[in-house]
Structure 1
């Protein structure tokens, strides 16, 4: 590992250390001594084998931030305080209520801050830190054993609190609260998010190796090609021969946008170590990923089809003893591996949505899923495959499992699953491995047993492979027709130009011949006239003629006439030569014209035949006209080559690939029990043993045959793939990469062969609670640039620098492949977002008629703040707008400020019983999920969004903070599909950055007795 990369990763490790100590969130978390007291006797009433966790030295994040800011003399104001709880020390208690030896844990922030506050922090601090930490742990371990020798008592808890203050000197910070999580099984232990990222960073550092993707992620890609509006490069990437074989089977009328297809082609064909896509809101980032997923499945199916007998794609390698439980072990053929897909993000909700949405009916079962009347639609095809849709219900839909009335009521099949945290993994693997009882009392087979029950039939495999090959050939034929049609159109255009050129040339030749003939005639006339003049000359006496003969001198007049005649004769001779040359050219051109006319006629006939294959204007040719500046919108909305039939065949190809997977898995059913069991019991493996690590890696390869796509947060990725080293994951797709801190993805990128980051730096930046001063301290200590260490640095920003393709924004920022066609918001919300964040480059995807049906309303509401930025009059105005609504589920309420959100929720809940068309319970449930800060709604959308500005003249600093950048307002306004209603002081906000653009497009209204005027 090069020194630069090591310093970068170590600096990120320090940043994570400074973020450790977050109290693990759980609904079962209980405070001791505060409010309703928890009985200390409960510590001795723990289920056998379980344990409890006790957290001491509790403080809120903003309290620590205040101490740090005072040390660095930072007087800037914090407008959204981080109220999350942190702890200073934790211990574990066994099922007998006794302290578990060596279970003490101290977040490293406690030691790092000592280094920083003593002004001795440097790149050598980690070594000192580890030594100091070990000394403290050794000392505290002895003391903990003594303090808790009688179990958990009030005295022991008090002594531990005092001990923390003694060791860490944070008396002004700590309160008396102690939290506990009791009676936790090994599968349900609390996990601190940052500690898992720390573990990944430490693993990468200890390996002293960088994967190709991680090396580029840190060092960047020097070779950079601007792709936005680059005709030559886009034409090259979108050549019909590079069109991926398959697609996600969405509506056949639907086509990707230009830059979506560029991204898909690049990912599938070039298989770069790291690639990035920059997509503004609503530009179809997930849509393009679905096409990528489909093609990876197809690639594996193509390899599967190469086996006449699918059982030959595996080899039994022996058996393995899992603590008395023996399983057979298998090795897959290499060409079957390499297609596992992991989708990761810092945003748990966003990443789970992807894996839970892909198997939903609406993703494949829809109208317009076939082209001709006699064709089978996607709905019928996918139902024929029968990819265990009822088991998706069992995995996704809660603890109570009920069999759907129709297997396809909710899901089309098992394609993806949310993993990551242990509760998710347990839930999925329980269904995979264990028979279970349904709500009606009947027993349902585990998915493995169901697979085993479905007997493999060789004939089915042969037929499926043949159909797969047939569809592939049909796709090839269709592409050939399209290619020939396109080439014929181009040929016709060229022939037209050539024929026009020849016609013009023949006209010019005729004109020139006419002029030459006229010139010859004119000269001959001149010669005649000269001869006539000569004849009229007086006759010369005989002695003068004799003298001229003797002297050799002619009559000067006659000599001049002869000279003129000679000149005219020579000129006519030259003219005649030119004329003959032109006549020869005329003959040649006429022959070529006739030949081209014949060729044009034949080509025209062929074009007519080919054109009958397509609907009018069905596919787009990217000719010179398409690339003209005025056709920018049309160009971005279009993709060359694609027809409805080709889309149908490519979607069918993907479904048939799934069919091959189903049959392949039936043929190899025994391998799944082993793989599922090994993954589910991976904690029992000795991952220091190379053989057992390879066994786990092979098990994951087998797992992805059954569930191709899994999702996880970065925090859980390291734990889920513990023991899986560099290059052990096939494809890592990073969603909402602009929200993720750069260090969060290091473990995933290091493990992955191919990394695709998708996000938008113009939306929400990473949520970082550390102060700028701490970033600057670490940056100086490791002599690093700000691009690695700042509050705004994200996975997206580094992935963009690592991508060979991209564009430079006007501010000099380098981004990845940009997407420009927006399909979520109507105007004018689209216009506001486009103006404030994307330099007008986005293109409205809706038809002009539909696009102009949106609206922005500015409700001018003033008032004085009551709590930080909260203005009660604005909450009142909101209530008056929604109190009679029967469609609360279609409404979001957003504010930049936590205080406004919390107080608005409280106000709505207080008046929940006043709502006229929904129950108070529904109102409270709605406010819990649909009223929040801007960060809460990244990646979401709804018909109507209310945006509450908050603030008054005394809190103008907070108002200015909300529009320091366009990001907050951009995210807020692009949540609204149809209507955006801003509630705030119009006279103060209308001149502020970005708000002035909202004001420009809004209708100003005021409230009089609750009525908008």
Structure 2
């Protein structure tokens, strides 16, 4: 079964591979400044004399590399061509990809000869030809490999010439210098091989000339500059999946929806008890980023960090990160936690060199031998890769983390003392001079950095910059920067004794760790008190409910007793009547005999009774009187017992009725006791008289004995009532049982009331203890309002008060110190390992080096630089030497924008993945029309859930995440991973708009007033956010010229206010609008302009949203309003002001735009005048 499941996962990867064939790289537009040239008849080529490229100079270590693009075509033509075969829904509107690509490409060296092996046929053009001629096919990937091989064979014939004379290597052709005719011949070969020449424009040839390092000028493969970057990695992972070699993260990622148990999900908005437990002090990481101690992570951020660190040995989790909710802030704390975790393992070493196993691995790069020492298993697994489809997103994360602005001012001095290679970090943050490769020309002054904790890798330019700055830079280079790269530093460490002994560094780290843990214990005491109080509160509630239940049992038992008493009396009366009748019968028979005996007895006793009849009668009357009184008092007491107040009377009078009843009951009991005493006294008097009578009656005893004998004979002849009537026996047995039940129920009630009062007393004691903790921790303690008020609950994580935050940040800095001291002590091993890592990063290492050697080299780089970033497009070239689950952590940013196939290779090489994004922001634009992708899916037999146009990396991760919440969707609610809730970007009304249309109102606004007040003070005449209502009379595509005139008016006003145009963004939903507003960007330097898609990940003080929309094509408006994503991104870019330009009536009729219209005051044409 497992192998079959993995085979299905492999099919999904193969489907994605086929779709990815339609994802070519864009070819740059002709731009002489960027050295991109169009080939013109009769004009020299860049490698020929007379070309303007000759004006550019090269350094001695540089060479020219020319990439020739054959058959330039617009990418939207692919969309149109496929749509002619697979007709789209006429009412639908698909956003089409922009840009251009080419039928084929190859590389020409500076000598004008083609570089063998660097040619590539466009998979997109070829696949388009296949759709048009044969339709989608399951064997596309293998057939494209055959087509590429055939193209290469014919292409080589064109770019080479027959050799003169025999050659030792058996090769009978040699490269020749290419001219214009040769390029045209190559174009013809490409068009024929692709088979799409009739559908796509393909006559232009374009050449991009690049300065590269001379040593690597010919080290290039064709797929790097034309076809999808990830298609080769997808093929590798699909092959491994078919073998079952998947790894946990990727296997889970490819788990079918039906196999994911929704019942295990915990909605963090409903289950605050789980949120409390999962942000408890014991779950908070020891390390913390050095931000302001007063600014704790938001509760949702801390939950996300804790959940990530709580992942098992491998896995994947999603984090929902709406705009402005602090994704980078959350990721920084996760990084700090991991650095501290590794430092704790380092601190266990008696000496740094014991970090290595003693095993050495080797390979050869050119003429150099590389030696790599392998790490102990407990010191690896902390590697962090930040990846995204969006180059800007990964750059933002890894540029922000090492920048000085990433830490609070209060930590700057201490961070400076840590001195964790800040000069190297600053150099890596510096921008390269335009048009130069790394290392060329004078670099600008680097931005201030605080520590080398992250680096931007990814594409070849970034990798080259990193290698040069991080490794090879020396302080005597021409840029006169007084800092050295790690190579020079490590050599220096090797030749000197480290200033700080290892044992001292370990001792300092342990002391910092001890401070953190001591405070943790105090916070844990408070948390346990909260837990205990919660248990007590539940117990009090349970016991409070038990008291009326017990009282009800008493009432029920008493009612049953009353019934049993009535039944017993009835049965007793019946039995007595029967006995009486039988007795009368017997008495009639024996009456005569008794009469005679009684006459004799009476005569003998008359004398004695006459003597004492007076005294005996008096005593008898006294006894009878007290018996009567006792009976009356007992009946009064019994009646009072029946009138005991019920539970509701107890509650209504707050116990007063019960206390009054008890006082009366006690008094009546006393009266009964007194009557019994007096009756005893009377009985004693009667007994005394009777003793005297006994003597007198002795004489009559003999006569009485005879009478008694007669009476006994009579009695023996009359049975007792119990013998006569069996129902009386049953009734008396029932009465005895019910009496026991009444007694037991009454005892239970007393016990329940006692337990309840005892629990309430303990709860009051617990509340007093919690009050002390609450006073000490303030907002970091879960008081009663924490449970009910999101505005109180969400802004700050529990327990993380300034005292603990300071200690945790100090521990993170101490961990960096320990890492640096380790570097100084283990300089030899690290220099060798890092040199090997530089070969890999720079692209100089052979492809076939041992995987474990490459891994050890990478682990060394991650030891020094905890975080590196890359786009998915560059992931294969960066980590291609590594295999399944080689790296510890993958942090995916902007995952909602990433198509699912992009992350496959990265997830395969990762143990734990934290996927951050927002399904309610923009999704990626795919090359394929939906019906075309459906056709390919059907051919490959893959389920619809894997369609790349209908899902994302974020969605696939969210569905696996057990902690999250539900947000509104089109047809049903959307489950998202741990939601970040506290928003700190947009003023009103922007915040309310996005919170309403996309996030079900769950976000909490903590943007604050300071930035808004500064903005208003600077621009006091600037209107509040508005909707400028424009009903255009004409349309150019989806561009409305009347809206353009309004836009121009706003821009002129802003320019007149000397507004900072770098804080202005003009965006629209359609490319027709983007083309028009692009011209405005050139007139107003700094202005950002484009489609809403291009604005993802950016923000500005002022955003102008130009809606456009051709009135004759209403499907476009419906498309823009079909989901909240587009409007959500547009509105959430604006921090201080949002101005919307468009037809208010037409757009406000669309879903989500109704909310926009309601929250923005209109500016009509009349008002404008």
Pairwise TM-score range, normalised by the shorter structure: 0.7 to 0.9
Q: Provide closer, same or farther for how the CA distance between residues 801 and 80 of structure 1 changes in structure 2, counting only shifts above 3 A.
A: closer
Contact 2:900 2:948 in 1 (8 A): no
Shift of 1:172: 4.8
Match among 72, 92, 99 for residue 58 of structure 1: 72
Q: Which has the higher helix share?
A: 2
Structure 1 747/480 Cα, relative in aligned 2: closer, same or farther at 3 Å? same
Name the structure 1 match of 2:138. Answer: 123
Equivalences for residues 467-546 of structure 1 within 5 A: 467-488=508-529, 513-521=662-670, 523=672
- Say which of 892, 910, 934 aligns to 1:776: 934
Distance 1:156 1:848 in 2: 66
CA contact (8 A) 1:60 1:84 kept: yes
Does the CA contact (< 8 Å) of 2:79 and 2:928 recur in 1?
Answer: yes
Contact 1:60 1:85 in 2 (8 A): yes
1:270-304 Cα offsets, whole Å, 9 max, x none, are: 34411111122122222211111111000100011
Distance 2:1061 2:468 in 1: 36
Residue 419 (str. 1) matches residue 457 (str. 2)? yes
Closer/same/farther in 2, CA of residues 456 and 266 from structure 1, 3 Å limit: farther
What's the secondary structure of 1:86's corresponding residue?
A: strand
1:722-762 per-position Cα deviation (integer Å, ceiling 9, x unaligned):
22111222211110001011111111111111111110010
Contact 2:316 / 2:960 at 8 angstroms: preserved in 1? yes
Aligned twin of 2:902: 744
- SS where residue 69 of structure 2 aligns? strand
- 1:382 match: 415
**Map of 1:899 onto structure 2:** 1072
SS for the counterpart of 1:8 is: helix
* Alpha-carbon spacing, 1:590–1:154, altered in 2? closer, same or farther (3 Å): closer
CA distance in 2, matches of 1:223, 1:827: 39
* Residue number among 107, 110, 113 corresponding to 1:95 in the alignment: 110
Q: Partners of 2:42 and 2:993 in 1: how far apart?
A: 48
> Closer, same or farther in 2 for the Cα pair 1:860/1:79, shift >3 Å?
farther
Q: Which residue of structure 1 lines up, in the alignment, with residue 644 of structure 2?
A: none
Assess if the C-alpha contact under 8 Å between 2:87 and 2:931 holds in 1: no
Do the aligned partners of residues 777 and 34 (structure 1) sit closer, same or farther apart at CA in structure 2, a change above 3 Å counting?
farther
Give, in angstroms, the shift of residue 100 of structure 1.
Answer: 3.5
Quote the offset at 1:818 in angstroms: 2.0
User: Quick check: 1:974 aligned with 2:1135?
Assistant: no
Distance 1:836 1:102, change over 3 A: same
User: How far apart are the structure 1 equivalents of 2:315 and 2:251?
Assistant: 10
Change (3 A) 1:551 1:303: same
Q: Which residue of the other structure, out of 286, 299, 304, is the alignment partner of 2:346? A: 304
Deviation at 1:1007, TM superposition (A): 4.8
Whole-angstrom CA distance in 1 between matches of 2:844 and 2:443: 34
Q: Does the alignment pair 1:226 with 2:265?
A: yes
Partner of 1:278: 320
Aligned residue runs from structure 1 range 753-792, under 5 A: 753-792=911-950
Is residue 986–residue 1135 contact of structure 2 (8 Å, CA) maintained in 1?
yes
Does the CA-based 8 Å contact 2:963-2:978 persist in structure 1? yes
Deviations 1:571-606 (A, max 9, x none): 9xx99x999x999989x979997x998x89997997
Structure 2: distance between partners of 1:528 and 1:319: 111
- Structure-2 residue corresponding to 1:705: 863
1:33 matched to which residue of 2?
40
Indicate yes or no: 2:1155 matched with 1:997: yes
Q: CA deviation at 1:144?
A: 4.4
Given that 2:70 and 2:202 are in contact with CA atoms closer than 8 Å, whether structure 1 keeps it comes out as no
**Gap change, CA 1:865 and 1:514, over 3 Å in 2:** same
Q: After TM superposition, give the deviation of residue 531 of structure 1 in Å.
A: 12
Closer, same or farther in 2 for the Cα pair 1:263/1:81, shift >3 Å?
closer
- Among 394, 415, 431, which residue is 1:398 paired with? 431
Once the two structures are TM-superposed, the CA of residue 622 in structure 1 deviates from its matched residue by 6.3
- Please say which of residues 849-858 and 889-898 is displaced more in the overlay: 849-858
Q: Given that residues 91 and 99 in structure 1 are in contact (C-alpha distance below 8 angstroms), is that contact kept between their aligned partners in structure 2?
A: yes
The corresponding residue for 1:10 is: 14
Post-superposition shift, 1:703?
0.7
**Distance verdict in 2 for CA 1:908–1:632, change over 3 Å:** closer
Question: Which residue among 161, 170, 174 is the counterpart of 2:197?
Answer: 170
Decide which moves more: 319-328 or 412-421.
319-328
Q: Is the 8 A contact 1:894 1:901 kept in 2?
A: yes
- CA displacement at 1:654 relative to structure 2: 1.0
Change (3 A) 1:507 1:785: same
Query: 2:83, 2:77 → 1: CA distance?
Result: 10
Distance 1:906 1:515, change over 3 A: same
Judge which range, 355-364 or 667-676, deviates more.
Answer: 667-676
Aligned residues: 952
Residue among 747, 756, 780 paired with 1:619: 780
Mapped partners of 1:206, 1:396: distance in 2: 38
The verdict on how the C-alpha distance between 1:782 and 1:231 changes in structure 2, with shifts beyond 3 A counting, is: same
Secondary structure of 2:274's match?
A: helix
- 1:867-906 to 2 correspondences below 5 Å: 867-881=1036-1050, 882-886=1054-1058, 887-906=1060-1079
- What CA distance in whole angstroms lies between the structure 2 residues aligned with 1:954 and 1:420? 45
Is 1:688 aligned to residue 885 of structure 2? no
Contact (CA 8 Å) 1:855, 1:1002: kept in 2 or not?
no
- Evaluate the alpha carbon distance shift between residue 235 and residue 879 of structure 1 in structure 2; reply closer, same or farther with a 3 A threshold: same
What is the aligned counterpart of 2:1142 among 960, 971, 984? 984
* Alpha carbons of structure 1 residues 412 and 430: separation in structure 2 relative to 1, 3 Å: same
1:463 CA drift (Å): 2.8
Indicate the SS of the match to 1:902. helix
- For the 8 Å contact 1:827–1:851, the answer to whether it is kept is no
Secondary structure, in 3 states, of the residue corresponding to 1:414? coil
Query: 1:661 and 1:284 mapped to 2: Cα distance?
Result: 28
Aligned mates of 2:908, 2:533 — CA distance in 1: 52
Residue aligned with 2:246, SS: coil
SS in structure 2 opposite 1:765? coil
The alignment partner of 2:322 has SS state of coil
> Residues 604 and 281 (structure 1 numbering): CA distance in 2 closer, same or farther, change over 3 Å?
closer
How far apart in 2 are the matches of 1:874 and 1:15? 38
Change (3 A) 1:184 1:399: closer
TM-score (norm 2): 0.74
Q: Structure 2: give runs of 5+ residues left out of the alignment.
A: 163-173, 434-440, 548-649, 684-696, 715-734, 1017-1022
Q: Specify the alignment match of 1:84 in structure 2.
A: 99
Inter-CA distance 512–37: structure 2 relative to 1 (3 Å threshold):
farther
Secondary structure of the corresponding residue to residue 816 of structure 1: strand
Conserved? CA contact 2:35–2:210, under 8 Å? no
> 1:382/1:176 Cα in 2 relative to 1: closer, same or farther (>3 Å)?
same
Contact 2:1063 2:1100 in 1 (8 A): yes
Judge which range, 292-301 or 790-799, deviates more.
790-799
Aligned pair partner of 2:283 in 242, 247, 253: 242
- Sort the Cα spacing of 1:941 and 1:968 in 2 relative to 1 into closer, same or farther, 3 A: same
Q: Using a 3 Å threshold, how does the CA distance of structure 1 residues 380 and 160 change in structure 2: closer, same or farther?
A: closer
Structure 2: distance between partners of 1:143 and 1:889: 50
- TM-aligned CA distance change 1:531 to 1:183, over 3 Å: closer
Structure 1 position 432 matched with structure 2 position 470:
yes
The answer on whether the counterparts of 2:385 and 2:891 sit within 8 Å (CA) in structure 1 is: yes
Cα distance change of structure 1 residues 456 and 761 upon mapping to structure 2, 3 Å threshold: farther
Mapped to 2, the partners of 1:196 and 1:875 lie a distance apart of 38
Counterpart among 329, 348, 361 of residue 404 in structure 2: 361
Structure 2 equivalent of residue 108 of structure 1: 123
Q: Secondary structure at the match of 2:873?
A: helix
Gaps of 5+ in 1: 370-377, 535-541, 554-569, 913-922
Q: 1:704 to 1:511 in 2, by over 3 A?
A: farther
- SS for the counterpart of 2:336 is helix
Give me the whole-angstrom Cα distance separating, in 2, the residues matched to 1:983 and 1:583.
75
> Which segment drifts farther, 297-306 or 423-432?
423-432
The separation in 2 between residues aligned to 1:349 and 1:6, in whole angstroms, is 31
**Do the aligned residues in 2 keep the contact of 1:309 with 1:458 (CA within 8 Å)?**
no
- The answer to whether the 8 Å contact 2:266/2:962 transfers is no
Alpha-carbon distance change, 193 to 472 in structure 1, aligned in 2, over 3 angstroms? farther
What is the SS of the residue equivalent to 1:87?
strand
- Structure 1 residue matching 2:1162: 3-state secondary structure: strand
